Amino acid sequence: MDTITIKDIARALNLSTSTVSRALRDSYEINPETKRLVTEYAERFNYRPNSIALSLKENRSRVIGVIVPQIANNYFSQAINGIEAIAYSRGYYVIIFQSHESYEREIATVQQAVARKVDGLLISLSSSTSDVTHLRELQDRKLPIVLFDRVSKDLDTTFVTADNFGGAFAATEHLIQTGRRRIAHLTIPPYISITQERLAGYRAALEKYGIPYDEKLIQYTEFGQNDVEPFVDALLDQSPDAFFTASDRLAIGCLAALKKRAISIPETVSLIGFTNTPVADLLAPPMSTVEQPALEIGQMAAEQLINQIEGKQTGTQPGRITIPTRMIVRASSERTPAPHPLREQSSL
Amino acid sequence: MDTITIKDIARALNLSTSTVSRALRDSYEINPETKRLVTEYAERFNYRPNSIALSLKENRSRVIGVIVPQIANNYFSQAINGIEAIAYSRGYYVIIFQSHESYEREIATVQQAVARKVDGLLISLSSSTSDVTHLRELQDRKLPIVLFDRVSKDLDTTFVTADNFGGAFAATEHLIQTGRRRIAHLTIPPYISITQERLAGYRAALEKYGIPYDEKLIQYTEFGQNDVEPFVDALLDQSPDAFFTASDRLAIGCLAALKKRAISIPETVSLIGFTNTPVADLLAPPMSTVEQPALEIGQMAAEQLINQIEGKQTGTQPGRITIPTRMIVRASSERTPAPHPLREQSSL
DNA sequence: TTGTAGGCGTTATCAT
DNA sequence: ATGATAACGCCTACAA
């Protein structure tokens, strides 16, 4: 692509490159007339500083790398949206990488990001990542890293996550309060952080109401695999009276499976998912949801990372930042009044 | 971030930088022993060439810029997915920019992309862009540009779009063949290319079956504005017997509005949208859809752009590439047999 | 087989 | 007030 450089301007105006540079950078002591000449010429020929040369000189790229399991996903695309908003407002660009839920690809991708000279890394771990030494090494080499959503406690950085525990607790409690007691939980792979947090929230709610935890009511599915029917079948064998699913995809898959089996959803099942889709209103019955604050998570993560890059210590880091979730109740078929929670009972 | 350079290796091994460079690049005539030494050292200290320095030298960044109206959008995130797949496989990275449906931001964003030294640009125009001189200028300066989805005939490049005409035609024809005659069309802003193509497909189908075109059955909505209810109301005044909507968002909004008004959708309205969501099965009644080949459009666009960047003339360019759409019929309530198409009648 | 020098675009430092 | 020079990391003629 045809571009004009400082050199071109210098040649055209019979000046040295340093003078031109000074004129453009609005530096001290420069002849106003010279400056006018230079800026006018630059304007006219649409001069733009070569950011690559600048990066080389300043040893930084003003680019932050974002690594997500996949882009074409409601949650992550919203998070990226939040990341971009903050990044752009602070003068950074965003390069996006996908790990495709693969540990190997995550490693390769992180390498590429580093080779690309990103100033920092924003990562949501792939579902098959348990070992994070590839990230710890980079940290040791002083690369700023912030994790979001799918985090690992083995890494000593800032984490930004949704309040998965609280969200799952609220969802489960809502189901209990509308009279369900055998709440099936259809969830994602057990070895990622959010799964465990959500399970803990689910169990805590059961415990609060004195409902025994039955692990046969839990089914773990893989990502990428769209066929949730067998898992739903396995859960149906346990005669549940509600479903609590851990994602949009699972919620939709679950509803589809129930519909296919002509199980009268409105009467027997309340379904709550972590979701962002506005279609929840249109399903029959409407699906209550726990909304993931994807945008805010992205914004917060970006802000933390850029602070770290620019050496602004926020005081409390490295630490964990939790963004609240919001529950939207859409199910209308209440059954019995809520049983009195056992724990509160005994503490009163 | 701590990094090792060729210089460091040269110093450590008492060699010149050029020798090290040659050794690493597997260049001709080099002492095998020296080479071994260098590669081993590089391996051990995890040497990675500085891509910024390379970009400066080679005067190209191996980055392609993608400008979309918004990322957090099913369609565009899938398209980006396709773009990335191709780009990465051919050694390019992707920087994503959002125009937020604003002409001004699109211009600013294009400038940033250029300043960032992208090797080429992949653009889906903002809905408020009618003038494309900002792009034509760049083209004149030899920047490879490929448009996808939202294109403009005022620009002399490769376009990649879905078969909007064909998709709209198929949708409308399907509605006609299931007995509808007053088909409302709820669509997006009139001044973007895809709107016109879809409208043309709609009209062509009406014409084929001798149904008069009634412009009161057409309503244009803005992007970003989630409230489609007034538009649905305006259409309902025309007592339509079907809806053909131009996007997911409109389809969902339309269904929601109908539901709110307790209009018995299953009996009176078939709704067909351009969509990608798998929830269509779960709506009542299930919504037939014309699927947008977002992934393929992204892939094709990226391929075209990279060919252009690398100077591989594909022979036929600049031209228009159309990716077929696929219709999925989910509506089950057939009414009357299809009326015999007038045009075919007269031509037989 | 290896080293030297120059250049990609920019800016900071040190002359003049 | 302006110019010359060096440096960021890498590669490649050209020289040795």
How do residues B22-72 score in pLDDT, each as one tens digit?
A: 999 866 678 889 999 999 999 999 999 999 999 999 999 999 999 999 998
Residues 121 through 150 of chain A touching chain B, CB cutoff 8 Å: 138, 141-143
Contacts of B262 (CB under 8 A, 6+ apart): none
Sorting pLDDT into bands at 50, 70 and 90, what band is A264?
Answer: low
**Nucleotide C5: nearest residue by CA–C1'?**
B18
Q: What is the 3-state secondary structure (H, E, C) of A32-77?
A: HHHHHHHHHHHHHCCCCCCHHHHHHHHCCCCEEEEEECCCCCHHHH
In the Cβ-directed half-sphere of A338, how many Cα atoms lie within 13 Å? Answer: 14
Is residue A138 scored above 50 in pLDDT? yes
Closest nucleotide to A35's CA, by C1' atom? D1
Sorting pLDDT into bands at 50, 70 and 90, what band is B328?
Answer: confident
Given a contact cutoff of 8 angstroms between Cβ atoms, the answer to whether A205 and A168 are in contact is yes
A279 CA to D15 C1' distance (Å): 73
Q: Helix B74-89 to helix B294-309 angle, to the nearest 10 degrees?
A: 40
What are the tens digits of pLDDT across the range B115-131? 889 999 999 999 888 89
Q: In the prediction, which pLDDT does A343 show?
A: 33
Rg (CA), chain B: 26
Closest nucleotide to B6's CA, by C1' atom? D9
Q: In the prediction, which pLDDT does A273 show?
A: 67
Closest nucleotide to B19's CA, by C1' atom? C2
Does B115 lie at the interface with A, CB-CB under 8 angstroms? yes
Q: In the prediction, which pLDDT does A74 show?
A: 84
What are the tens digits of pLDDT across the range B247-292? 888 888 888 888 888 776 544 556 677 665 667 777 766 788 898 8
Does A114 lie at the interface with B, CB-CB under 8 angstroms? yes
Question: Domain map of chain B by residue range?
Answer: 6-48, 60-161+293-323, 164-292+328-346
Average pLDDT over chain B, rounded to an integer: 86
Closest nucleotide to B53's CA, by C1' atom? D9
Kindly state the tokens that stand for B249: 């968002």
Higher pLDDT, B192 or A274: B192
Given a contact cutoff of 8 angstroms between Cβ atoms, the answer to whether A99 and A71 are in contact is no
**Average pLDDT for A234-259:** 86
What is the enclosing helix (H) or strand (E) of B9?
A: helix B6-13
What are the tens digits of pLDDT across the range A4-56? 999 999 999 999 999 999 999 866 678 889 999 999 999 999 999 999 999 99
Which residue in A321, A317, A302 sits closest to A91, CA to CA? Answer: A302
CB A18 within 7 Å, strand C: yes
Q: In the prediction, which pLDDT does B39 show?
A: 93
Q: In the prediction, which pLDDT does B276 show?
A: 59
What are the tens digits of pLDDT across the range A118-132? 999 999 999 888 899
Amino acid in the structure at residue B198:
R
Q: Rounded distance, CA B161 to CA B171, Å?
A: 18
What are the tens digits of pLDDT across the range B159-173? 999 999 999 999 999
CB B3 within 7 Å, strand C: no
Q: Is A141's CB within 8 Å of B84's CB?
A: no
Is residue B111 scored above 70 in pLDDT? yes
Given a contact cutoff of 8 angstroms between Cβ atoms, the answer to whether B304 and B146 are in contact is yes
Does B57 lie at the interface with A, CB-CB under 8 angstroms? no
From B2, B94, B283, residue closest to A96, measured CB to CB: B94
Q: In the prediction, which pLDDT does A87 show?
A: 95
Q: What is residue A209's three-state secondary structure?
A: coil
User: Quick one: closest CA in A to B85, which residue?
Assistant: A98
A38-45 long-range contacts, Cβ below 8 Å, gap at least 24? Answer: A38/A9, A38/A13, A41/A9, A41/A12, A41/A13, A42/A4, A42/A9, A45/A4, A45/A8, A45/A9
Does A105 lie at the interface with B, CB-CB under 8 angstroms? no
From B3, B63, B80, residue closest to A71, measured CB to CB: B80
Q: Rounded distance, CA A182 to CA A242, Å?
A: 7
Residues of chain A contacting residue B113, judged by C-beta atoms under 8 Å apart: none
Q: In the prediction, which pLDDT does B265 show?
A: 54
Q: In the prediction, which pLDDT does A84 show?
A: 94
CB A53 within 7 Å, strand C: yes
Sorting pLDDT into bands at 50, 70 and 90, what band is A307?
Answer: very high
Q: Where are the beta strands (DSSP E) in chain B?
A: 63-68, 93-98, 120-123, 145-148, 158-162, 183-187, 218-220, 242-245, 271-275, 288-291, 320-323, 326-328
A22 CA to D4 C1' distance (Å): 15
Query: In which residue are the tokens 């209810």 written?
Result: B229
B303 CA to D7 C1' distance (Å): 39
Query: In which residue are the tokens 């960032």 written?
Result: B116
The pTM of this model reads 0.88
Residues of chain B contacting residue A110, judged by C-beta atoms under 8 Å apart: none
Query: In which residue are the tokens 């500083």 written?
Result: A49
What are the tens digits of pLDDT across the range B269-280? 566 776 656 677
Q: In the prediction, which pLDDT does A348 show?
A: 29
DSSP assigned state of A145: E
Chain B nearest-CA distance from A134, in A, is: 12
Residues 72 through 101 of chain A touching chain B, CB cutoff 8 Å: 72-74, 77-78, 80-81, 84, 93-96, 98
Phi and psi (nearest 5°) for B233? -60, -45
Is residue A102 scored above 60 in pLDDT? yes
Backbone CA torsion sign across B336, B342, B347, B348: positive
**Residue A160 CB coordination number (10 Å):** 27
**One fold for both B60-161+293-323 and B164-292+328-346?**
yes
Q: Tell me the CATH number for domain B60-161+293-323.
A: 3.40.50.2300
**Average pLDDT for A48-76:** 93
Q: Which CATH number fits domain B6-48: 3.40.50.150, 3.30.420.10, 3.10.20.600, 1.10.260.40?
A: 1.10.260.40
Instruction: Give, in order, the Cα–Cα distances in Å from B290 to each of A118, B251, B267, B275, B328.
Output: 40, 12, 21, 6, 6
Q: In the prediction, which pLDDT does B264 show?
A: 60
Contacts of A114 (CB under 8 A, 6+ apart): A138, A143, B1, B48
Q: Rounded distance, CA B289 to CA B174, Å?
A: 11
Kindly state the tokens that stand for A52: 């690559």
Interface A:B, Cβ pairs < 8 A? 122
Q: What is residue B36's three-state secondary structure?
A: helix
Class of the CATH domain delimited by B164-292+328-346? alpha beta
Residues of chain B contacting residue A143, judged by C-beta atoms under 8 Å apart: 1
Residues linked to residue A121 through DSSP beta bridges, in sequence order? A65, A145
